Amino acid sequence: MNEGRKRKRTMDYWLLLTIMGLTIFGIVSIFSASMYNSGISGSPFSYFTKQLIFAIIGTILMITISNIDYRKTKQFAPLVMIGVIVMLVLVLFIGTNVNGAKRWIRIGSLGTIQPSEFTKIALILFLAYYIERKKELIRSFRYGILPVIGLALIVCGLIALEPNLSTATIIGALIVGMLIIGGMNLKYFIPVVIAGVGGIVFMIISTPWRLTRMLTFLDPWADIKGAGWQICQSLMALGSGGLLGRGFGQGKAKLLFMPEPQNDFIFAHIGEEMGLIFGIILIAVYLFLIWRCVIIALNAPDSFSMLFCGGMAGLLGLQVFINIGVATALIPVTGMPLPFVSAGASSLISLMCGMGVVLNISKHCNI
Protein backbone atom coordinates (compact mmCIF):
# COMPACT_ATOMS: atom_id res chain seq x y z
CA MET A 1 0.00 0.00 0.00
CA ASN A 2 2.77 2.46 0.94
CA GLU A 3 4.70 1.57 -2.22
CA GLY A 4 1.62 2.29 -4.34
CA ARG A 5 1.14 5.68 -2.71
CA LYS A 6 4.79 6.56 -3.22
CA ARG A 7 4.52 5.64 -6.91
CA LYS A 8 1.55 7.93 -7.38
CA ARG A 9 3.45 10.87 -5.89
CA THR A 10 6.33 10.47 -8.33
CA MET A 11 6.11 12.43 -11.57
CA ASP A 12 7.27 11.06 -14.92
CA TYR A 13 10.95 12.01 -14.77
CA TRP A 14 11.56 10.71 -18.28
CA LEU A 15 9.08 13.31 -19.53
CA LEU A 16 10.69 16.03 -17.42
CA LEU A 17 14.22 15.17 -18.59
CA THR A 18 13.09 15.15 -22.23
CA ILE A 19 11.50 18.59 -21.90
CA MET A 20 14.57 20.05 -20.21
CA GLY A 21 16.90 18.39 -22.71
CA LEU A 22 15.01 19.89 -25.66
CA THR A 23 14.92 23.30 -23.96
CA ILE A 24 18.67 23.33 -23.29
CA PHE A 25 19.37 22.13 -26.82
CA GLY A 26 17.09 24.89 -28.11
CA ILE A 27 18.99 27.59 -26.21
CA VAL A 28 22.30 26.39 -27.67
CA SER A 29 20.87 26.10 -31.19
CA ILE A 30 19.33 29.57 -30.99
CA PHE A 31 22.72 31.03 -30.07
CA SER A 32 24.35 29.41 -33.08
CA ALA A 33 21.49 30.38 -35.43
CA SER A 34 21.22 34.02 -34.33
CA MET A 35 24.74 35.10 -33.34
CA TYR A 36 25.62 36.54 -36.79
CA ASN A 37 22.40 38.49 -37.30
CA SER A 38 22.34 39.67 -33.67
CA GLY A 39 26.01 40.66 -33.84
CA ILE A 40 25.30 43.07 -36.71
CA SER A 41 22.76 45.08 -34.73
CA GLY A 42 24.20 44.61 -31.23
CA SER A 43 25.27 41.71 -29.07
CA PRO A 44 25.60 38.21 -30.60
CA PHE A 45 24.17 36.91 -27.32
CA SER A 46 20.87 38.81 -27.67
CA TYR A 47 18.56 35.90 -28.60
CA PHE A 48 20.55 33.50 -26.42
CA THR A 49 20.12 35.67 -23.31
CA LYS A 50 16.40 36.19 -23.91
CA GLN A 51 15.74 32.50 -24.48
CA LEU A 52 17.71 31.59 -21.37
CA ILE A 53 15.58 33.97 -19.29
CA PHE A 54 12.37 32.61 -20.87
CA ALA A 55 13.53 29.05 -20.13
CA ILE A 56 14.18 29.86 -16.47
CA ILE A 57 10.75 31.51 -16.12
CA GLY A 58 9.07 28.62 -17.94
CA THR A 59 10.84 26.01 -15.83
CA ILE A 60 9.81 27.73 -12.59
CA LEU A 61 6.19 27.86 -13.79
CA MET A 62 6.27 24.24 -14.98
CA ILE A 63 7.64 22.92 -11.69
CA THR A 64 5.18 25.08 -9.72
CA ILE A 65 2.20 23.88 -11.75
CA SER A 66 3.40 20.27 -11.53
CA ASN A 67 3.03 20.54 -7.74
CA ILE A 68 -0.58 21.82 -7.91
CA ASP A 69 -3.19 19.08 -7.99
CA TYR A 70 -4.63 19.08 -11.53
CA ARG A 71 -8.12 18.72 -10.03
CA LYS A 72 -7.67 22.23 -8.62
CA THR A 73 -6.13 23.56 -11.83
CA LYS A 74 -9.09 22.48 -13.97
CA GLN A 75 -11.47 24.60 -11.91
CA PHE A 76 -9.89 27.70 -13.44
CA ALA A 77 -10.43 26.50 -17.04
CA PRO A 78 -13.40 28.83 -17.81
CA LEU A 79 -11.57 31.89 -16.41
CA VAL A 80 -8.41 31.03 -18.37
CA MET A 81 -10.45 30.64 -21.56
CA ILE A 82 -12.18 33.99 -21.05
CA GLY A 83 -8.80 35.58 -20.34
CA VAL A 84 -7.21 34.44 -23.61
CA ILE A 85 -10.27 35.51 -25.64
CA VAL A 86 -9.93 38.99 -24.13
CA MET A 87 -6.24 38.95 -25.09
CA LEU A 88 -7.10 37.88 -28.65
CA VAL A 89 -9.48 40.85 -28.93
CA LEU A 90 -6.96 43.27 -27.43
CA VAL A 91 -4.16 42.24 -29.78
CA LEU A 92 -6.26 43.37 -32.77
CA PHE A 93 -6.45 46.88 -31.30
CA ILE A 94 -3.24 47.42 -29.36
CA GLY A 95 -1.03 44.72 -30.85
CA THR A 96 2.40 45.42 -32.30
CA ASN A 97 2.33 45.37 -36.10
CA VAL A 98 5.11 43.23 -37.59
CA ASN A 99 5.13 42.74 -41.38
CA GLY A 100 1.42 43.51 -41.57
CA ALA A 101 0.41 41.11 -38.78
CA LYS A 102 -0.85 41.99 -35.30
CA ARG A 103 -0.01 38.94 -33.21
CA TRP A 104 1.94 40.39 -30.30
CA ILE A 105 1.18 42.64 -27.32
CA ARG A 106 4.15 44.61 -26.02
CA ILE A 107 4.62 44.53 -22.25
CA GLY A 108 6.89 47.53 -21.71
CA SER A 109 10.59 46.68 -21.65
CA LEU A 110 9.83 43.01 -20.90
CA GLY A 111 9.18 42.31 -24.58
CA THR A 112 6.06 40.90 -26.25
CA ILE A 113 3.60 38.10 -25.66
CA GLN A 114 1.69 36.22 -28.36
CA PRO A 115 -1.84 35.45 -27.13
CA SER A 116 -2.46 32.78 -29.78
CA GLU A 117 0.29 30.58 -28.25
CA PHE A 118 -1.38 30.68 -24.83
CA THR A 119 -4.76 30.07 -26.50
CA LYS A 120 -3.64 26.57 -27.56
CA ILE A 121 -3.03 25.48 -23.96
CA ALA A 122 -6.09 27.31 -22.62
CA LEU A 123 -8.30 25.62 -25.19
CA ILE A 124 -6.98 22.14 -24.35
CA LEU A 125 -7.59 22.87 -20.65
CA PHE A 126 -11.11 24.18 -21.27
CA LEU A 127 -12.17 21.41 -23.66
CA ALA A 128 -10.97 18.73 -21.24
CA TYR A 129 -13.00 20.47 -18.51
CA TYR A 130 -16.06 20.95 -20.76
CA ILE A 131 -16.14 17.44 -22.23
CA GLU A 132 -15.77 15.86 -18.79
CA ARG A 133 -18.72 17.88 -17.49
CA LYS A 134 -20.84 17.30 -20.62
CA LYS A 135 -19.85 13.69 -21.32
CA GLU A 136 -23.51 12.60 -21.38
CA LEU A 137 -24.33 15.28 -23.98
CA ILE A 138 -21.19 15.20 -26.14
CA ARG A 139 -22.83 12.76 -28.56
CA SER A 140 -25.59 15.31 -29.14
CA PHE A 141 -24.92 17.87 -31.86
CA ARG A 142 -27.23 20.55 -30.48
CA TYR A 143 -26.34 20.37 -26.80
CA GLY A 144 -22.79 19.03 -26.87
CA ILE A 145 -21.00 19.80 -30.12
CA LEU A 146 -22.69 23.04 -31.24
CA PRO A 147 -21.42 25.09 -28.24
CA VAL A 148 -17.87 23.88 -29.00
CA ILE A 149 -18.25 24.88 -32.65
CA GLY A 150 -19.40 28.32 -31.49
CA LEU A 151 -16.28 28.64 -29.34
CA ALA A 152 -14.12 27.45 -32.24
CA LEU A 153 -15.60 30.09 -34.56
CA ILE A 154 -14.86 32.85 -32.06
CA VAL A 155 -11.30 31.74 -31.27
CA CYS A 156 -10.28 30.74 -34.79
CA GLY A 157 -11.94 33.82 -36.25
CA LEU A 158 -10.03 36.18 -33.96
CA ILE A 159 -6.72 34.42 -34.68
CA ALA A 160 -7.38 34.40 -38.44
CA LEU A 161 -7.90 38.19 -38.28
CA GLU A 162 -4.34 38.73 -36.96
CA PRO A 163 -3.76 37.08 -39.56
CA ASN A 164 -2.50 33.67 -38.35
CA LEU A 165 -4.19 30.93 -40.35
CA SER A 166 -1.73 28.20 -39.34
CA THR A 167 -2.49 28.59 -35.63
CA ALA A 168 -6.22 28.80 -36.34
CA THR A 169 -5.93 25.55 -38.31
CA ILE A 170 -4.07 23.79 -35.48
CA ILE A 171 -6.70 24.91 -32.98
CA GLY A 172 -9.47 23.64 -35.25
CA ALA A 173 -7.71 20.27 -35.56
CA LEU A 174 -7.23 20.08 -31.77
CA ILE A 175 -10.93 20.76 -31.19
CA VAL A 176 -12.01 18.00 -33.58
CA GLY A 177 -9.46 15.58 -32.13
CA MET A 178 -10.51 16.18 -28.55
CA LEU A 179 -14.19 15.84 -29.44
CA ILE A 180 -13.45 12.45 -30.99
CA ILE A 181 -11.47 11.33 -27.93
CA GLY A 182 -14.31 12.61 -25.76
CA GLY A 183 -16.88 10.43 -27.51
CA MET A 184 -18.32 12.57 -30.32
CA ASN A 185 -20.65 10.65 -32.63
CA LEU A 186 -18.53 10.01 -35.73
CA LYS A 187 -21.45 10.79 -38.05
CA TYR A 188 -20.75 14.47 -37.27
CA PHE A 189 -17.02 14.11 -38.04
CA ILE A 190 -17.18 14.42 -41.83
CA PRO A 191 -19.50 17.49 -41.92
CA VAL A 192 -17.38 19.27 -39.30
CA VAL A 193 -14.14 18.52 -41.15
CA ILE A 194 -15.61 19.53 -44.52
CA ALA A 195 -16.76 22.83 -43.04
CA GLY A 196 -13.32 23.45 -41.52
CA VAL A 197 -11.39 22.55 -44.67
CA GLY A 198 -13.79 24.65 -46.74
CA GLY A 199 -13.10 27.64 -44.52
CA ILE A 200 -9.33 27.18 -44.89
CA VAL A 201 -9.57 26.86 -48.68
CA PHE A 202 -11.71 30.00 -48.86
CA MET A 203 -9.19 31.95 -46.74
CA ILE A 204 -6.37 30.83 -49.05
CA ILE A 205 -7.98 31.55 -52.42
CA SER A 206 -9.48 34.85 -51.24
CA THR A 207 -6.13 36.23 -50.06
CA PRO A 208 -3.56 36.91 -52.84
CA TRP A 209 -0.44 36.44 -50.70
CA ARG A 210 -1.74 33.13 -49.30
CA LEU A 211 -2.57 31.91 -52.81
CA THR A 212 0.93 32.93 -53.98
CA ARG A 213 2.45 31.00 -51.09
CA MET A 214 0.44 27.90 -52.05
CA LEU A 215 1.49 28.14 -55.72
CA THR A 216 5.11 28.67 -54.67
CA PHE A 217 4.94 25.48 -52.61
CA LEU A 218 4.19 23.52 -55.80
CA ASP A 219 7.40 24.79 -57.45
CA PRO A 220 9.57 26.98 -55.17
CA TRP A 221 12.50 26.91 -57.62
CA ALA A 222 10.45 28.77 -60.23
CA ASP A 223 10.85 31.97 -58.20
CA ILE A 224 14.00 31.30 -56.19
CA LYS A 225 14.80 35.01 -55.73
CA GLY A 226 11.25 35.94 -54.78
CA ALA A 227 8.43 33.96 -53.19
CA GLY A 228 10.47 30.74 -53.18
CA TRP A 229 13.48 32.23 -51.39
CA GLN A 230 12.68 30.91 -47.90
CA ILE A 231 12.02 27.31 -48.78
CA CYS A 232 14.86 27.10 -51.31
CA GLN A 233 17.34 28.41 -48.74
CA SER A 234 15.99 25.92 -46.22
CA LEU A 235 16.40 22.99 -48.62
CA MET A 236 19.91 24.09 -49.57
CA ALA A 237 20.87 24.36 -45.90
CA LEU A 238 19.57 20.86 -45.20
CA GLY A 239 21.28 19.46 -48.27
CA SER A 240 24.64 21.08 -47.52
CA GLY A 241 24.62 19.55 -44.03
CA GLY A 242 24.90 16.01 -45.37
CA LEU A 243 24.93 13.14 -42.90
CA LEU A 244 27.07 14.70 -40.16
CA GLY A 245 26.69 18.45 -40.74
CA ARG A 246 29.15 21.30 -41.18
CA GLY A 247 29.82 21.48 -37.44
CA PHE A 248 28.40 23.61 -34.64
CA GLY A 249 28.57 27.31 -35.49
CA GLN A 250 29.77 26.62 -39.05
CA GLY A 251 26.46 27.03 -40.86
CA LYS A 252 26.31 29.39 -43.84
CA ALA A 253 22.54 29.83 -44.29
CA LYS A 254 22.32 31.96 -41.13
CA LEU A 255 24.58 34.57 -42.78
CA LEU A 256 21.48 36.53 -43.87
CA PHE A 257 20.50 33.92 -46.48
CA MET A 258 17.78 32.00 -44.60
CA PRO A 259 15.09 34.12 -42.88
CA GLU A 260 14.28 33.33 -39.23
CA PRO A 261 16.93 30.62 -38.72
CA GLN A 262 16.39 30.85 -34.94
CA ASN A 263 12.64 30.46 -35.21
CA ASP A 264 10.50 29.04 -38.04
CA PHE A 265 13.46 27.49 -39.89
CA ILE A 266 15.56 26.34 -36.95
CA PHE A 267 15.26 22.71 -38.07
CA ALA A 268 16.98 23.59 -41.36
CA HIS A 269 19.74 25.32 -39.38
CA ILE A 270 20.13 22.24 -37.15
CA GLY A 271 20.25 20.00 -40.22
CA GLU A 272 22.95 22.13 -41.81
CA GLU A 273 25.22 22.26 -38.77
CA MET A 274 24.54 18.82 -37.27
CA GLY A 275 23.49 16.75 -40.24
CA LEU A 276 20.77 14.30 -41.22
CA ILE A 277 21.61 11.76 -38.53
CA PHE A 278 21.16 14.27 -35.72
CA GLY A 279 17.97 15.52 -37.37
CA ILE A 280 16.56 11.99 -37.23
CA ILE A 281 17.62 11.70 -33.58
CA LEU A 282 15.81 14.97 -32.81
CA ILE A 283 12.63 13.67 -34.44
CA ALA A 284 12.97 10.46 -32.40
CA VAL A 285 13.21 12.54 -29.20
CA TYR A 286 9.98 14.32 -30.12
CA LEU A 287 8.28 10.99 -30.79
CA PHE A 288 9.42 9.82 -27.35
CA LEU A 289 8.01 13.00 -25.78
CA ILE A 290 4.66 12.52 -27.51
CA TRP A 291 4.64 8.81 -26.58
CA ARG A 292 5.12 9.65 -22.89
CA CYS A 293 2.13 12.02 -23.06
CA VAL A 294 0.05 9.28 -24.71
CA ILE A 295 1.11 6.73 -22.06
CA ILE A 296 0.07 9.14 -19.30
CA ALA A 297 -3.26 9.75 -21.09
CA LEU A 298 -3.94 6.02 -21.37
CA ASN A 299 -3.25 5.55 -17.67
CA ALA A 300 -4.98 8.75 -16.52
CA PRO A 301 -7.29 8.47 -13.49
CA ASP A 302 -10.22 10.36 -15.03
CA SER A 303 -11.57 11.72 -18.31
CA PHE A 304 -10.28 15.28 -17.76
CA SER A 305 -6.68 14.15 -17.29
CA MET A 306 -6.95 11.72 -20.22
CA LEU A 307 -8.31 14.45 -22.51
CA PHE A 308 -5.75 17.03 -21.41
CA CYS A 309 -2.75 14.73 -21.93
CA GLY A 310 -4.18 13.56 -25.24
CA GLY A 311 -4.65 17.17 -26.31
CA MET A 312 -1.05 18.05 -25.38
CA ALA A 313 0.23 15.03 -27.34
CA GLY A 314 -1.78 16.19 -30.34
CA LEU A 315 -0.52 19.77 -30.06
CA LEU A 316 3.12 18.68 -29.88
CA GLY A 317 2.67 16.30 -32.81
CA LEU A 318 1.00 18.92 -35.01
CA GLN A 319 3.59 21.61 -34.28
CA VAL A 320 6.54 19.30 -34.88
CA PHE A 321 5.02 18.04 -38.14
CA ILE A 322 4.23 21.53 -39.44
CA ASN A 323 7.59 23.08 -38.49
CA ILE A 324 9.67 20.23 -39.95
CA GLY A 325 7.24 19.87 -42.86
CA VAL A 326 7.79 23.52 -43.82
CA ALA A 327 11.59 23.23 -43.52
CA THR A 328 11.61 20.13 -45.76
CA ALA A 329 9.02 21.46 -48.28
CA LEU A 330 6.43 18.84 -47.36
CA ILE A 331 3.84 21.55 -46.70
CA PRO A 332 3.53 25.25 -47.71
CA VAL A 333 5.53 27.84 -45.78
CA THR A 334 3.81 29.00 -42.62
CA GLY A 335 5.00 30.27 -39.27
CA MET A 336 5.08 27.56 -36.59
CA PRO A 337 7.67 27.24 -33.80
CA LEU A 338 9.43 23.94 -33.11
CA PRO A 339 8.36 23.04 -29.53
CA PHE A 340 10.92 23.94 -26.84
CA VAL A 341 13.58 24.63 -29.49
CA SER A 342 12.51 27.69 -31.53
CA ALA A 343 13.10 31.17 -30.15
CA GLY A 344 10.14 32.88 -28.50
CA ALA A 345 8.82 33.51 -25.00
CA SER A 346 5.14 32.76 -25.60
CA SER A 347 5.65 29.37 -27.24
CA LEU A 348 8.18 28.14 -24.68
CA ILE A 349 6.41 29.40 -21.55
CA SER A 350 2.92 28.31 -22.63
CA LEU A 351 4.12 24.80 -23.54
CA MET A 352 5.97 24.48 -20.23
CA CYS A 353 2.82 25.51 -18.36
CA GLY A 354 0.85 22.86 -20.23
CA MET A 355 3.49 20.23 -19.54
CA GLY A 356 3.40 21.21 -15.86
CA VAL A 357 -0.20 19.97 -15.76
CA VAL A 358 0.81 16.76 -17.58
CA LEU A 359 3.62 16.18 -15.05
CA ASN A 360 1.16 16.60 -12.19
CA ILE A 361 -1.25 14.16 -13.82
CA SER A 362 1.61 11.67 -14.17
CA LYS A 363 1.89 11.61 -10.37
CA HIS A 364 -1.58 10.09 -10.25
CA CYS A 365 -0.83 7.35 -12.81
CA ASN A 366 0.66 3.92 -12.29
CA ILE A 367 3.27 4.03 -15.06
pLDDT for 141: 77
pLDDT for 71: 94
pLDDT for 3: 43
State which of 3-7, 91-95, 238-242 shows the largest mean pLDDT: 238-242
Which backbone phi and psi does 103 adopt, to 5 degrees? -120, -5
pLDDT for 300: 94
pLDDT band at 317 (very low <50, low <70, confident <90, very high): very high
Spatial separation of the C-alpha atoms in residues 354 and 168, rounded to whole Å = 19
CB 23 within 8 A of CB 348: yes
Range in 181-185, 229-233, 310-314, 340-344 the model is least confident about: 181-185
For the chain, give the mean pLDDT: 89
Range in 53-62, 151-160, 351-360 the model is least confident about: 151-160
CB 102 within 8 A of CB 332: no
Q: Is the pLDDT of residue 207 over 90?
A: no
Separate counts of helices (H) and strands (E) for the chain = 14, 3
CB 152 within 8 A of CB 176: no
Read off the pLDDT of each residue in 359-363 and give the average, rounded to a whole number: 96
pLDDT band at 110 (very low <50, low <70, confident <90, very high): low
pLDDT for 334: 86
Q: Is 295 helix (H, G, I), strand (E, B) or coil?
A: helix
Q: Is the pLDDT of residue 9 over 90?
A: no
Q: What is the DSSP string of 148-216?
A: HHHHHHHHHHHHHTTT-HHHHHHHHHHHHHHHHHTT--GGGHHHHHHHHHHHHHHHHHTSHHHHHHHHH
> Percent of the chain having pLDDT more than 70?
97
pLDDT for 352: 98
Record the pTM: 0.93
Read off the pLDDT of each residue in 4-29 and give the average, rounded to a whole number: 85
CB 261 within 8 A of CB 269: yes
pLDDT for 181: 86
Sign of the C-alpha dihedral computed for residues 143, 77, 93 and 55 taken in this order: negative
